[in-house]
Structure 1
Amino acid sequence: MLGPESRPTLDAPDDDPYLWLEDIEGALALEWVEAQNTATGKLFGQKQTAADRDLLKTIFDRPDNVPYPTRIGGRLFNLWQDAANPRGLWRTTTLESFRSEVPAWEVLLDLDALARQENEDWVLKGTSILPGTHDRAILSLSRGGADAVVLREFDIAERAFMPNGFYLPEGQSSTVWLDRDTLLLMSAVGPDMATASGYARTVRLWQRETDPLAALIIFETRPHSILVYAGVDRESPQELVWFVEKPGIIESNVWTGDRTGPKMRIEVPTDAWLSWQRDWLAVKPRTPWNIPDAAYGDKTHGTDTVIGISFSAFLAGDRRFTTLFEPASRRALQGFFWCGGRLVLSILDDLKPVFEVFTPADGAWSRELVAGLPDLGTVYVWPFDSEAEESNGDLLASAQDPLTPPSLFVVRPAAAPVLLKQAPRAFDPAGLVTTRHEAVSSDGTRIPYVQVGPPGMSGDAPVHLYGYGGFNVSLPPFYNAAIGKLWLELGGTSVIARLRGGREFGTEWYEAARREGRRLAHDDFAAVAADLVRRGVTHPGRIAAEGGSNGGLLIANMLTRYPDRFGALLCTVPVIDMRRYAKLLIGAACIDEYGDPDKPEDWQFLAPMSAYHVASPGKNYPPIMLVTSRRDDRVHPGHARKMAAKLQAMGYEAHFYEPATGGHSSGKDHDEQAALIALELAFLRRAIGW
């Protein structure tokens, strides 16, 4: 007698009976998807779910939500979505008006009207406004929220697309204005223009009223690199174009040149971060950088330090850097950028946000702190002005924590932050507290996590546990309106785990969970779940865990490696099939992160975390819901489809849902987002008996 279908297996990883589900628009696959959507909707789309959806949509559509602006040419631009404008209004105003309670916005483009007029499912993904005159823009229009976009030139003064303007069909594309009639084009559209990851392989010089597919190639990389991109330094006294080649997610090669192509490579280690402005260069080595110097003695700049030097002196051969930042135990750089001739460093000091500003002059660097921002919760700081040459040094800052909605500040040089906007409360925080704890992982490493909920230890708290753990991305505690309204306000507890693989404590923290170390990020998450039980907060059957994208790989591994620690699992837009991931959409770009399954030595450590192959009959797996999007062109929908099909064939409680649109997210607009989140939380609550 034959047992339940358990293919593919670790012993026969390429014997995959569900490959047909990788055909995204295939008739048979779509028939399966629609049947799954119907079944999931019947199970969890009850009246309460509809009420929850409506509640979330009202929160997302509130007119007093913060309209985050970008300043270009002295004016503020914003894309605004609400109930009347679900796709959004691209609009502009002045800073003076923005400060008022009801700003006077000028609508540049109504996306809903455009979608109706052209019968297209348009989503505005980005805008690139012509510097100087600010009267033209290249708009990036996505169908259904996908990463691929159509590029079209828009006349801002006339509020209309230009009939014979720049236009490029759908693809992974972006542009930079070189002058009024010339664009730098980075696009996968055209023969041999895409890398194996599906991104741009070339930089092309695209002249107005010419065929972009015949545009002159001025820079290119090998097909197996990830991508190339370019930009323009408009503060340089002569035309300066910079070019970046990304052989992998860690390494970069940077050149300077002009519209004819690169001329000079910036001689820093390929794994270093670098940025320059107004003849000053800042570098962050990822690994120790030894610089021989016969005259002054050799110098080694350590991992995650930030060093600065005159750019012209560096190009002339000078290597006498000034050390601006050195990491310490649990004090790590998160990023840096230039703004108005000042270098802004974003730092986490024992997970508290700190911002230091360095101003170079006459070979010296003065240092100051950005004071007046909260030192708890989450704070982001970024340049107010989109174009560096227009900046006066103003910064924007957003501050929030799990119980405090975001506030938007403007921070002028050497001045205290000034509040611009405050988001409304989405839920009642009464009786809720935020606490920080640490779990001990499999190798003894202490893993921090933030817990939000009622004080005290009931031993039975409904817990929503979220994590990511990868790609050098920190996961700070943030204000989550949906979890607040549909979990915390109902008496539940939420937890955010800060796993290895992120950037919280620097390169070492990230490297520990890269490639063969990825299992440690998964161990970290399981350790947090166990610690919640150890501390008396809850028990395993009441823990509902969620993760998306790389976090979906995390959740799939909780199913196969730690099923006894969870009551329910939500796995969204996930990476799961580690045997084929590098062959699907942009998967090849992630080989540096995960490893190469075509190499036997890499498959040896990838196989145990390929939950699609590890899953087998007769286990005590908790209920799981797998969610993807048909328009996700970043992580292939086949991962979630195939995992759901295999689990169901083996008799497990595995639910599946796939909206037709949304891209690599929870939806393209507030309607889709509210509906999907309400459905997902309905599943989690029911699965843990709440």
Structure 2
Amino acid sequence: MTAHAAEDATHAPEPIDPHLWLEDINAPDALAWAAARTAETEAAFHDSALEQRLRDVLDDPDRLIVPSRHGDLMYHLWRDAENPRGLWRRTTREAFTAGEPEWETLLDLDALGQAEGTAWSFGGAVHGPAGSRRALLRLSPDGGDAVVLREFDLDAVAFVDDHPFELDAHKHRVAWLDSDTLLIASALDGGGITDSGYPISARVWRRGTALADAPTIVEGDHADVGVFADVDHTGDRHTAVVVVAHDFFHSELWVWDAAAAADPVKIQAPQDAHVDIHGELVAVRTTTPWQVGGTAYPAGTLLVGPLETLTTGDGSALRVAFAPTEHAVLETWNWTRTRLVLTVLDRVQSGLCALDPAALLAGEPGAEAETTPLPFALGTDDLFSASVVTADADEDDELWVVARGFLTPPTLLVTDAVAPDPRVVQRGNAAFDATGLVATQHWATSADGTGIPYFEVGPRERDGALPVLMSGYGGFEHALTPEYQNLVGPAWLEKGRVFVVANIRGGGEFGPDWHLAALREHRHRAYEDFAAVARDLFARGVSTPAQIGCHGRSNGGLLVGNMLTQYPEDFGAIVCGVPLLDMRRYTRLSAGASWIAEYGDPDDPDDWEFIRTFSPYHLIDPQQAYPPSLIYAAASDDRVGPVQARKMAARLTQETDAEVYYLEPVEGGHAGTIDNAATAALHATIHAFFDNVLTRD
């Protein structure tokens, strides 16, 4: 047997695919096909009045501003009709807190684009360490994940022209070691790339030298997802951190004191744990049970201890900062100068807690976390969540928080993690009339008997079944919590209809176990959960299958793709955005190889046996009747890519009698849109489709 034949024997046979030509993203015939289908869809579902209404919401000159804080300055990207790509600007913390910001424009993205002939999209700024007055700007030419890096002088308000740090477009990961040195993971100049398309090594790059000459500090393998760089600048200690991600959920962390030029040391923690460094402290959240230092800790536990306890592997100095319960789990955490602030989900609604790590490690009484109440009374008509949006852990214990509900516009508050006294800085404007609407939580029973919570928003008083728009995700331990519906509100809820968010397994609503329950060969549980919610809506008299539509994006696109192919009788319309759909070839497309830990490896015959059961592209049955569907993607999406969406639409159109529409903007990346105008146009089209399909006689 030849070596090639032996390799082929280890792979599952490739199903015949007549639509492979659509995988060439920029091929003229593929682009022409996408443009023609897009024009048909836009002509069929154009609602100029709704588009303008949504545009007005997004461009509201008095809308809530959520800035990022760096020292005594607040930074923000402002977009409106006159500045579609945005103004990157700043004001003082004092003026912003007082509600009287005086904004200074640092960079006009539209003017830059016109001058350079590239319609730049702002991907954020990597600020230098305290006192450096420099930032690395991330600029995308099309809204995708690949960005160019340019160094910006915050004092001169201009790009640096004297030995600047600059890089062409790629999926870089970069952090400042000091004002003249970067810790960088980049595939450029010999850095190398993994099978998933991310950098394979981290290097120390000094100003005035070539990146190709920068010494490699940590290197991964081609089979890894990628290598990622960060630096913690807490206090006097500057800790360099390199993450080697073996897959989406298993990583090795390497740390070292950047100032001491020491060799990297590997953190002795489980590869599936989440590790976060803050000065001399480390926080570890377990994903699976972990026994260390003579103690066993269950999944979902947050531990805090001295960093040295994990560089030596001892672990005995770790202390429990949070222990999960049946309904309360840790969603995330943030550091301030002296406190650790926890965002806790209790029955999928979030609250904030703060604890003193020093007191916790010293075993002092009262060191346990106390819940910080939300800054307004929880009414009976809404459900709420809160999240930390910015803090400067090098400066103080100040905490900026956004609280919101499904029907309550977001409110920006500032408080103190040591002595909480929330103060409202700005309240968001209402985007729609919520009179008579109510938000409630319900539970459906999935196929295996598991209770599945879901949020329902709609009229308090009802007369018969109503159209329903369902949303869900169910992957990567991502939890869906109450969010203000500034687009769904005016487009859907204001018309007296119902909006539902399903908290299915695969997400993080009840901690890591909720995610692991729908991993790989257990993926079907996520789809059974979502279908169970749809059927519960019918059983409760909320709606009928013909009136229930669902919309999902990315992994949520895979979710609704399975609703289309496996549960077509439970839905009247499907909108599938920037989706995974061809699970036989997903690892070969864009960044697909990075998600093998979530879905399985289709090139492994054993894995393909279960993957094919949730690959919508391969589940299409010419004899099956399908509900109408709208599938959309973006040509510039370099994370999932448009090709799976293209092929799904093409196959459904050619092999079935299904009513299928396709939409593919050129710009937008994985977000699907690149500015407010594009966002309004996309969502107006989606809701015009739902209006047309779900209200047919």
TM over 0.5: yes
Q: Which amino acid aligns with 1:656?
A: Y
What is aligned with 1:533?
538
Equivalence map 1:434-449=2 (5 Å): 434-449=439-454
Pairing 1:82-481 to 2, within 5 Å after superposition: 82-164=80-162, 165-191=164-190, 193-235=192-234, 237=236, 239-259=238-258, 262-291=263-292, 298-312=294-308, 315=311, 317=314, 319-361=316-358, 363-364=362-363, 366-367=367-368, 368-373=370-375, 377-382=383-388, 384-386=390-392, 388-390=393-395, 392-412=396-416, 413-481=418-486
In the alignment, what sits opposite 2:487? Answer: 482
Residue 182 (structure 1) shift: 1.3
Residues 384 and 572 (structure 1 numbering): CA distance in 2 closer, same or farther, change over 3 Å?
closer
- The offset of 1:39, in angstroms, is 1.1
Q: What amino acid sits opposite 1:138 in the alignment?
A: L
1:459/1:539 contact within 8 Å kept: no
Distance change (3 Å), C-alpha of 1:134 and 1:524 = same
Structure-2 residue corresponding to 1:4: none
Counterpart in the other structure of 2:62: 64
After superposition, the Cα gap between the structure-2 partners of 1:381 and 1:648, relative to the gap in structure 1 and judged at 3 Å, is: same
One-letter code aligned to 2:679: Q
Structure 1: distance between partners of 2:320 and 2:204? 38
- Matched with 2:507 is 502
| Aligned-residue offset at 1:352 | 2.8
Q: Counterparts of 2:66 and 2:571 in 1: how far apart (Å)?
A: 37
- The alpha-carbon distance between structure 1 residues 137 and 643, as it changes in their structure 2 partners (threshold 3 A), is same
Identity %: 40
Q: Which moved more, 1:77-86 or 1:208-217?
A: 208-217
1:634-682 Cα shifts (integer Å, max 9, x gaps): 1121010000000000232110000010111131100000011101111
Structure 1, residues 19-77: CA drift from partner, whole Å, max 9, x if none?
Answer: 110111101101101110111122112xxx11111111011001111111111121111
Shift of 1:287: 1.6
1:674 aligns with 2:672: no
1:256 positional shift: 1.6
Deviations 1:147-184 (A, max 9, x none): 10011111222222123411101111132111222111
TM-superposed CA distance for 1:347, in Å, is 1.1
The aligned counterpart of 1:582 is 587
* CA-CA distance at 1:491 after TM superposition: 1.5
Is the contact between residue 546 and residue 694 of structure 2 (CA under 8 Å) also seen in structure 1? Answer: yes
Distance 1:389 1:570 in 2: 44
> Structure 1 CA distance, aligned partners of 2:237 and 2:75?
29
In structure 1, the residue corresponding to 2:409 is in which secondary structure? strand
Q: The residue matched to 1:146 in structure 2 has which SS?
A: coil
Separation of aligned partners in 1, 2:311 and 2:564: 53
Which range is displaced more, 201-210 or 92-101?
A: 92-101
Out of 355-364 and 588-597, give the one that drifted further.
355-364
Tell me the distance in 2 between the aligned counterparts of 1:554 and 1:202: 34
Contact between 1:239 and 1:258, CA under 8 Å: does it hold in 2?
Answer: yes
Closer, same or farther: CA 410–327 of 1 in aligned 2, 3 Å: same
Contact residue 306 and residue 317 of structure 2 kept, 8 A: no
Q: Who is 1:38 aligned against?
A: 39
2:567 to 562, 565, 588: 562
Alignment check: 8 A CA contact 1:195 1:225 kept: yes
1:275 shift after superposition: 2.2
Counterpart amino acid of residue 172 in structure 1: K
Q: Which residue of 2 aligns with 1:514?
A: 519
**Is the CA contact (8 Å cut-off) linking 1:13 and 1:613 kept in structure 2?**
no
Aligned length: 670
What is the one-letter code of the residue matched to 1:307?
L
Measured in 2, the distance between the counterparts of 1:336 and 1:303 equals: 16
- Partners of 1:543 and 1:558 lie apart in 2 by 11
Give the letter for the 1:662 counterpart: G
Q: Which runs of 5+ in 1 are unaligned?
A: 1-10, 293-297
Distance 1:457 1:385, change over 3 A: closer
Using structure 1 for the length normalisation, give the TM-score: 0.94
Q: Which amino acid in the other structure matches residue 411 of structure 1?
A: T
2: CA distance between counterparts of 1:589 and 1:572? 20
Shift of 1:372: 3.9
Instruction: Measure how far apart 1:223 and its partner are.
Output: 1.1
CA apart distance, 1:236: 5.8
2:5 matched residue in structure 1: none
Report the more deviating stretch, 197-206 or 580-589: 197-206
Q: Contact conserved, 1:255 with 1:262, CA < 8 A, in 2?
A: no
Whether contact under 8 Å (2:239, 2:279) holds in the other structure is no
Cα offset, 1:456, TM superposition: 4.3
Contact 2:191–2:212, Cα closer than 8 Å, also in 1:
no
> Which of 632, 640, 645 pairs up with 2:637?
632
Q: 123-132 or 600-609, which moves further after superposition?
A: 123-132
Which runs of no fewer than 5 residues in structure 2 stay unpaired?
A: 1-11
Q: Indicate if the aligned counterparts of 2:521 and 2:610 stay in contact, CA closer than 8 A.
A: yes
Which of 587, 596, 619 does residue 614 from structure 1 map onto?
619
Which residue of the partner structure matches residue 15 of structure 1?
A: 16
Q: Does 1:642 align with 2:647?
A: yes
State the AA in 1 paired with 2:398: D
TM normalised by structure 2 equals 0.93
Tell me how large the CA RMSD over aligned residues is. Answer: 1.8
Classify the secondary structure of the residue corresponding to 2:561. helix
The answer to whether the Cα contact below 8 Å between 1:138 and 1:152 also exists between their aligned partners in 2 is yes
Looking at structure 2, the residues matched to 431 and 371 of structure 1 have their Cα atoms a distance apart, in angstroms, of 26
What displacement does 1:290 show? 1.8
Q: Matched residue of 2:81: which SS? A: coil
